[in-house]
């Protein structure tokens, strides 16, 4: 029932298995994958970096908020750090609840809030060697502008 | 004069060229210290785009700094 960071590849099957509960009638899961194309540029790799102690505190708070808002039986969220390739799993969220409405809603809430609040950053690496920190663009060190 | 440990992440780490530094400063608040460091190191992000964490918890910009505090200026996050 918590948020954690992982420097190793995420294995969804054991995470989903750990959510199993005879009271649960629904399990919603979300997988966020590294996309090869972002805002018109070819991405060769994504480097994820986290401020560990605060990321885990804030992630746990988000899961607790989701429990208060929607109610669920069990939930977990794992976020990768380190260098990822296109197609790699970057974030996995799973929520088991009595009914599907709460499972979907809590799963969505956790993903959205993690993206917006948890101190994790990603740096895109582009074909040709340039790099850029997502959301810090326009800050003067985000590599050359996209073509066109 | 007090000693503050500053940790850098993402674009700030890159612009500073290191992950941590020990700052001897007269700054009383996180805002004052960021202004000082921004001027010294040429950080591109204005304070308005950052958040502050003091001793591993979010804190307001006007939080008072004390000897030995650990401070992080948090660039715009981008998880997921």
Domains and CATH numbers, chain A: 3-133 (3.90.1170.40)
What are the tens digits of pLDDT across the range B38-47?
A: 999 999 999 9
**Could you tell me which chain B residue has the CA closest to the CA of A77?**
B80
- Assessment of whether the complete model's pTM goes beyond 0.90: yes
- Residue A111 and residue B80: Cβ atoms within 8 Å? yes
Per the document, the length of chain A is: 148
Residues of A in contact with B80 (CB under 8 A): 32, 79, 90-91, 111, 114-115, 120
Residue with tokens 């918890």: B57
Note whether A126 contacts B: Cβ–Cβ < 8 A: no
**Could you tell me which chain B residue has the CA closest to the CA of A92?**
B80
Angle at A47 between CA A42 and CA A53, to 5 degrees: 150
ipTM of the complex: 0.95
Cβ B33 vs Cβ B27: under 8 Å = yes
Residues of B in contact with A134 (CB under 8 A): 78
**Could you tell me which chain A residue has the CA closest to the CA of B55?**
A54
- Residue B11 and residue A141: Cβ atoms within 8 Å? yes
Residues of B in contact with A115 (CB under 8 A): 77-80
Q: Is A106 left (phi over 0), alpha (psi -120 to 50) or beta?
A: alpha
Number of H helices, E strands in chain B: 2, 5
Note whether A120 contacts B: Cβ–Cβ < 8 A: yes
What's domain B2-74's architecture?
A: Roll (3.10)
Cβ B27 vs Cβ B67: under 8 Å = no
Per-residue confidence of chain A (148 residues) as pLDDT tens digits? 599 999 999 999 999 999 999 999 999 999 999 999 888 889 999 999 999 999 999 999 999 999 999 999 999 999 999 999 999 999 999 999 999 999 999 999 999 999 999 999 999 999 989 999 999 876 544 444 444 3
């Amino acid at each position: 029932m918590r948020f954690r960071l992982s420097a190793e590849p995420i294995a969804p099957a054991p995470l989903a298995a750990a959510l199993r509960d005879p009271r649960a009638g629904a399990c919603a899961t979300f997988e966020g994958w590294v996309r090869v194309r972002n805002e018109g540029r070819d991405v060769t790799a994504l480097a994820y970096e986290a401020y560990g102690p605060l990321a885990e505190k804030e992630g746990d708070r988000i899961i607790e908020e989701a429990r208060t808002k929607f109610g669920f039986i069990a939930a977990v969220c794992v976020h990768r750090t380190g260098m990822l390739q296109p197609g790699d799993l970057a974030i996995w969220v799973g929520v088991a609840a009595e009914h599907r409405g709460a499972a979907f809603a809590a799963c969505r809430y956790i993903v959205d809030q993690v993206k917006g609040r948890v101190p994790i950053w990603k740096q895109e690496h582009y074909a040709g060697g340039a790099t850029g920190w997502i959301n810090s663009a326009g800050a003067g060190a985000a590599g050359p502008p996209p073509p066109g | 004069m007090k000693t503050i440990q500053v940790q850098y992440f993402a674009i700030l780490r890159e612009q500073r060229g290191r992950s941590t530094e020990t700052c001897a400063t007269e700054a009383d608040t996180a805002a004052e210290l960021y202004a000082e460091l921004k001027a010294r190191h040429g950080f591109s992000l204005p304070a308005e785009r950052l958040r502050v964490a003091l001793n591993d918890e979010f804190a307001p910009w006007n939080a008072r700094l004390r000897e030995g505090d650990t401070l992080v200026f948090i660039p715009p996050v981008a998880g997921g």
